[in-house]
Amino acid sequence: MIGIASENTPSALFQKSRDAMASGDCFEAMQMGIEANAAAKRSGNRQLSANILAHLGEVYECTGKDKDAIKSYILAGNYFAANKNLRRQGQVMSKLGELYLKKGILSMALSTFLKGHNLGINNNIDSMTSTFADNIGMVYLQLGNFSMAQKYLDVAVKLRKKNNDKSGLAYTHGNLALLFDQQGKDSLAIYYYNQTLQFCKQHRDTSCMANVFNNLGVFYEDRQQAEKALDNYKHSLSLTDSSNHASFSVICCNMANIYFSIRKYADAMRYAKQAYRHSIKSPYVEDQRDALKVLRKISLARNDWQTAYQYLEKSSKLTESMQKQASEKGVMQAEMENRLLLQKNKQELEKKLLAEKYRVIELHRENNDKLMRWGLLGMFAVVMAVSFFLVNIHRSNLRYKAAMEEMKEVNRQQQALSGIVAHDLKTPLTQIRGLVSLLRMDGHLSKSQQEIADNMLSAADGGLSLLSDIIVVNQIETEVYQHLQEIKIVEVIEDICNSHSMQLHAKQITLITKLDASHGIRSTKDSLGRMADNLLSNAIKYSPPLSVIEVRSEKKPEGLFIHFKDKGAGILQEEKSLLFRKFQKLSNKPTQGESSHGLGLYIVKLLADRNGAQVLVDSEPGKGSVFTLFYPSNLTINS
């Protein structure tokens, strides 16, 4: 009986759970861990219970139960905080923040890391402060806030040098290399990559070396230095454990892309197939999607249309699955944030109630008359302060309204002037175009004269296009009311697609349309046609030759979605906020030098707002873009 009892103690069960985790049996570890936690609670051993909860957080992560992992980490952190075990509290907070970061919940990750950073500062624990400073820097890097990222990484470097933490310094140097890489500061990025690589080699850390070589491969690939990129990727691949399917898939995919860019299609296909084989076993479904994308691209380049279509079908099924998972993830994230917010509000309310209780007791102990006098005096002061504040707000509102009216009047005058100028310039430009066309038809022009005439004709067409866009913008901005009518989207959008057949043929782009004939909306044909024309025109301009553009409609309970998907260069995160500004041009250029005035997307946004629709954007650099027109359910019609 004694032997059996000892096997069921909290410590014995905890050890069994850790042994199962070490052997890779996550589910056995979870069962033992839950039993150990229940036993520790019954025994009243709070310190042991906290350690078991922290361990359970890792076990739940291993089994994919992220909600339970977050709950376990939070409970363990609270136990450690109550027992003043600061180092264990910091370790658990680091695990929690990393889990939020892995799930893409950046706001919660940043909040958790900042709390850990402050815990280290307040208790003079430099190792904790520097670790959280590193983590905060990487979150800001993902958010595109380079100045804040460098601020915290500099803090980490300073503390690690102070404490001669060479391993931590190498880690921070790697993060600084990524920061300078994204900022385009090449010399600094290479310096910090080499510093990190030197440390990895000294300590024979193959995993560290593989990671640095992979980052250097990405660095040189972004700068179109194919040979250097391939050398670094090959080094990374040779150092990566083949059982690490996620890393293997990513590296092979990167190498396939480079071989494709230098037209070595056989090598590209070989590495793309390796990437796909490993991506199937990878825990990240995005790896499989990226591998299929590369395989499809290579098949198209080799004119293997049947294989390309097979890869396209696999990619479409995978995309649908990913969208379903993303929806579930969004629900879980909102649920988690609401739960944490409710817990925080409950704690604040309890604190306020406790404070109020003590305040009432204190009031009874003092002289009631004295408290009344001071209370009345205080209330009078508050009333006066609030009155003064409200008067100032009222005056500020009046000044603001006057300024806004003045700005509206100036804007109306500018619109009227631009409209007049556009109309007045259109006639002479049309005449110039006609005269140049006659000259080109003459047949007696020399080669240089013919080139000059072609350039003049192109400039005139570009000018007329710009003037037409300006006139359209003025018409939309000054239009007070549009009469909406019931229209079938397939009738409008297919006409637009047909009108772009020459541009598609010139760049050998495949256009796939998946428009349901039953899908209809309440809008105007001109508005939908103009928006579809601009979005399809942009997709053609920014797509490389031999690529695929997809236009499809999708009806959901919330409304109708019309997607325009291309395989272009994608849009930088920091430029997304500039997309719909008037005359705004981004860093990406049309792939064959087509003209762009920066008004197309502004017109789309303007028309969408006027028609009660929305324009949605989903884009990543190097992965293309998806522009979506969304009509809410009150604007859709049933066939």
Please check whether residues 397 and 291 belong to one and the same domain: no
Determine the Cα–Cα distance for residues 99 and 89; give it in Å rounded to an integer.
Answer: 16
Other beta carbons within 10 angstroms of residue 118's beta carbon come to 12
Determine the Cα–Cα distance for residues 254 and 240; give it in Å rounded to an integer.
Answer: 14
Angle at which helices 525-542 and 489-499 pack, to 10 degrees? Answer: 40
Residue 28 structure tokens? 């056995």
Determine the Cα–Cα distance for residues 257 and 12; give it in Å rounded to an integer.
Answer: 52
Residues with Cβ < 8 Å from 100, sequence gap 6 or more?
A: 70, 106, 108, 109, 112
At 616 the three-state DSSP class reads: strand
Residue 509 backbone phi and psi in degrees, to 5 = -95, 135
Q: Is residue 427 part of a domain?
A: yes
Residues in the chain: 639
Find, among 51, 66, 48, the residue nearest to 10 by Cα: 48
Please check whether residues 515 and 434 belong to one and the same domain: no
Residue 31 backbone phi and psi in degrees, to 5 = -65, -45
Please check whether residues 552 and 420 belong to one and the same domain: no
Determine the Cα–Cα distance for residues 522 and 613; give it in Å rounded to an integer.
Answer: 10
Other beta carbons within 10 angstroms of residue 542's beta carbon come to 23
| Total tally of structural domains belonging to the chain | 3
Residue 550 backbone phi and psi in degrees, to 5 = -120, 130
pLDDT of residue 241: 84
Other beta carbons within 10 angstroms of residue 132's beta carbon come to 28
Please check whether residues 421 and 510 belong to one and the same domain: no
Kindly report the CATH number assigned to the domain that includes residue 524: 3.30.565.10
Q: Is residue 234 part of a domain?
A: no
pLDDT < 70 regions, the chain? 1-7, 325-352, 354, 357-358, 360, 362-373, 375-376, 403, 406-427, 429, 431, 436, 439-440, 442-443, 457-482, 639
Please check whether residues 459 and 377 belong to one and the same domain: yes
Please check whether residues 627 and 490 belong to one and the same domain: yes
Please check whether residues 501 and 556 belong to one and the same domain: yes
Please check whether residues 382 and 515 belong to one and the same domain: no
Residues with Cβ < 8 Å from 536, sequence gap 6 or more?
A: 496, 497, 500, 549, 551, 564
Residue 563 backbone phi and psi in degrees, to 5 = -100, 135
Residue 193 structure tokens? 């990559």
Residues with Cβ < 8 Å from 296, sequence gap 6 or more?
A: 308, 311, 312, 315, 548
Q: Which of 432, 463, 478 is the last residue of a domain?
A: 478
Q: Contact 55/18 with Cβ under 8 angstroms?
A: yes
Please check whether residues 437 and 502 belong to one and the same domain: no
Please check whether residues 466 and 498 belong to one and the same domain: no
Q: Which of 478, 505, 531 is the last residue of a domain?
A: 478
Q: Which residues of 375-409 are buried (b: 16+ CB within 10 A; e: fewer)?
A: eeeeeeeeeeeeeeeeeeeeeeeeeeeeeeeeeee
Q: For 219-233, what is the HEC assignment?
A: HHHHCCCHHHHHHHH
Kindly report the CATH number assigned to the domain that includes residue 447: 1.10.287
* Identity of the residue numbered 180: F
In the block, residue with structure tokens 């700068």: 223
Q: Is residue 220 part of a domain?
A: no
CA–CA distances in Å: residue 33 to residues 9, 38, 386: 12, 9, 57
Q: Is residue 562 part of a domain?
A: yes
Residue 217 backbone phi and psi in degrees, to 5 = -60, -45
As beta bridge partners, residue 565 has: 550, 626
End-to-end CA distance of the chain: 75
Determine the Cα–Cα distance for residues 51 and 427; give it in Å rounded to an integer.
Answer: 80
pLDDT of residue 285: 79
Find, among 108, 558, 515, the residue nearest to 337 by Cα: 108
pLDDT of residue 186: 87
Please check whether residues 417 and 504 belong to one and the same domain: no
Q: Is residue 340 part of a domain?
A: no
* Identity of the residue numbered 124: N
Domain span including residue 254: 241-298
Please check whether residues 561 and 624 belong to one and the same domain: yes
Q: Is residue 164 part of a domain?
A: no
pLDDT of residue 546: 92
Residues with Cβ < 8 Å from 197, sequence gap 6 or more?
A: 209, 212, 213, 216
CA–CA distances in Å: residue 85 to residues 14, 38, 51, 129: 20, 22, 11, 16
Handedness of CA 556, 560, 566, 570 (dihedral sign): negative
Q: Which of 455, 478, 501 is the last residue of a domain?
A: 478
In 485-556, beta strands by DSSP E: 485-488, 510-514, 520-523, 548-556
pLDDT of residue 594: 76
Helix spans in 103-185 (H): 106-122, 126-143, 146-162, 166-183
Determine the Cα–Cα distance for residues 113 and 99; give it in Å rounded to an integer.
Answer: 11
Q: Is residue 593 part of a domain?
A: yes
Burial level of 222, CB count in 10 A (0-12/13-18/19+)?
Answer: middle
Q: Is residue 77 part of a domain?
A: no
What's the distance, CA 96 to chain centroid?
21
pLDDT of residue 2: 38
Q: Contact 217/254 with Cβ under 8 angstroms?
A: yes
Q: Contact 54/99 with Cβ under 8 angstroms?
A: no
